[in-house]
Amino acid sequence: MANETVFRRYKGNPIITAKAVPRANSIHNSAIVRYKDGYMGVFRVDEISMDYTLHVGKSRDGIRWDIDPKSIKMKSGDPEVSVATHSYDPRVTKLGDTYYVTWCNAAGQGPCIGLATTKDFKAFKQWENPLPPPNRNCVIFPRKINGKFAILHRPSDRGHTPFGDIFYATSPDLIHWGCHRFVFGPTQGGWQSTKVGPGPHPIETKDGWLLIYHGVWTSCNGYIYSAGGALLDLKKPWKVLYRTRDYLMYPTELYERVGDVSNVLFPSSAVVEGKTLRLYYGCADTCIGMAEANIDELIRFIKRHSL
Ligand code: BMA
């Protein structure tokens, strides 16, 4: 099967543009989850001041969104634990009855990972930043593994990071993180040869943890971001069972090709709807697109086109 038929883009793409929020310059790389009989999301809004802020949005169908024009106010009880003026690329994972938000909380010392929890998307408790800077991508697994919270994360540098490997880490209490294990890095050549980073939270399947990730290569004109897929061992998720040699999605549409940063397809959240995986992704650092795949076909594709 050709890769273009695994994910089918929604015909009404892009589903969210800057028009959704009055002060927005762009809305992209955001985190959407099922919530009660609808959907909730934590959205990355790049404002007209070029501060990057996080906003809650809600939707009945996951397509038409109502995004709060005011950014999320988190409570930490400690003035030194706060939301940075550059807060971006959120991921949200449900574990039990709690939603865990991770994002890039870009402190003075460089990009850092922020962590918050909420049950209702109204009150957010911010925790200590779980990892030291610089680190730009982090997502929590949807259940504890071997009794511990588990994450995938991607150490980086303070700039545009011309490298990047995915690591696994665990914590007994959301405060102390360790046992960092290498999961996978860029390849020798091809669409994922510069860096890779975890996308939406891994999804548990009988074939392993299904991970959609971003892969980047460096063209004469700069970075190009695409989406790939992997299956990780259920008990030891740092062990890669399969990983796509061919990309799953590449920026081919005009709204993915042209924008504040051109040629960026950045997968950031995924929702399971029966046998379908609905993927939300940032387009050219400007707007949000949606695409769907049959989960069995997706897993077959990853296995057949593995490195
Ligand atoms: C990465 C992140 C993403 C962004 C991408 C392309 O380093 O900052 O937010 O989509 O670059 O600009």
The closest residue, in CA terms, to atom 3 on ligand 1 is: 89
Tokens of 21: 């929020």
How much distance in Å is there from the Cα of 234 to the middle of ligand 1?
A: 29
Is 282's C-beta closer than 6 angstroms to any atom of ligand 1?
yes
Tokens of 178: 């360790």
Amino acid at 160: H
3-class state of residue 254 by DSSP: helix
Return the pLDDT at 108: 77
How much distance in Å is there from the Cα of 253 to the middle of ligand 1?
A: 18
CA-nearest of 279, 283, 284, 282 to 298 is 279
34 within domain boundaries = yes
Is 265's C-beta closer than 6 angstroms to any atom of ligand 1?
no
Structural domain harbouring 128: 16-304
Is 285's C-beta closer than 6 angstroms to any atom of ligand 1?
yes
CA-nearest of 80, 63, 54, 56 to 10 is 63
Planar angle of CA 298, 304, 307, nearest 5 degrees:
110
Q: How far is CA 252 from CA 9, 180, 265, in A?
A: 11, 35, 9
Is 46's C-beta closer than 6 angstroms to any atom of ligand 1?
no
Specify the CATH number for the domain of residue 195.
Answer: 2.115.10.20
52 within domain boundaries = yes
Return the pLDDT at 13: 98
| Cα four-point dihedral sign 63, 265, 270, 72 | negative
CA atoms within 13 A on the CB side of 195: 22
Return the pLDDT at 3: 47
Count of structural domains within the chain: 1
Is 261's C-beta closer than 6 angstroms to any atom of ligand 1?
yes
297 within domain boundaries = yes
133 within domain boundaries = yes
Q: What is the pTM of this model?
A: 0.97
- Please report, in tens digits, the pLDDT of each residue of the chain (307 residues total): 444 579 999 999 999 999 999 999 999 999 999 999 999 999 999 999 999 999 999 999 999 999 999 999 999 999 889 998 899 999 999 999 999 999 999 977 889 999 999 999 999 999 999 999 999 999 999 999 999 999 999 999 999 999 999 999 999 999 999 999 999 999 999 999 999 999 999 999 999 999 999 999 999 999 999 999 999 999 999 999 999 999 999 999 999 999 999 999 999 999 999 999 999 999 999 999 999 999 999 999 999 999 9
CA atoms of 41 and 121, how far apart (whole Å): 8
Return the pLDDT at 1: 45
The closest residue, in CA terms, to atom 4 on ligand 1 is: 285
33 within domain boundaries = yes
Q: Are 150 and 170 in contact (CB under 8 A)?
A: yes
| Choice from 195, 223, 266, 288 to test ligand 1 binding pocket (greatest atom count within 8 A of CB) | 266
7 within domain boundaries = no
Return the pLDDT at 109: 82
102 within domain boundaries = yes
268 within domain boundaries = yes
- DSSP string covering 281-303, please? EEETTTEEEEEEEEHHHHHHHHH
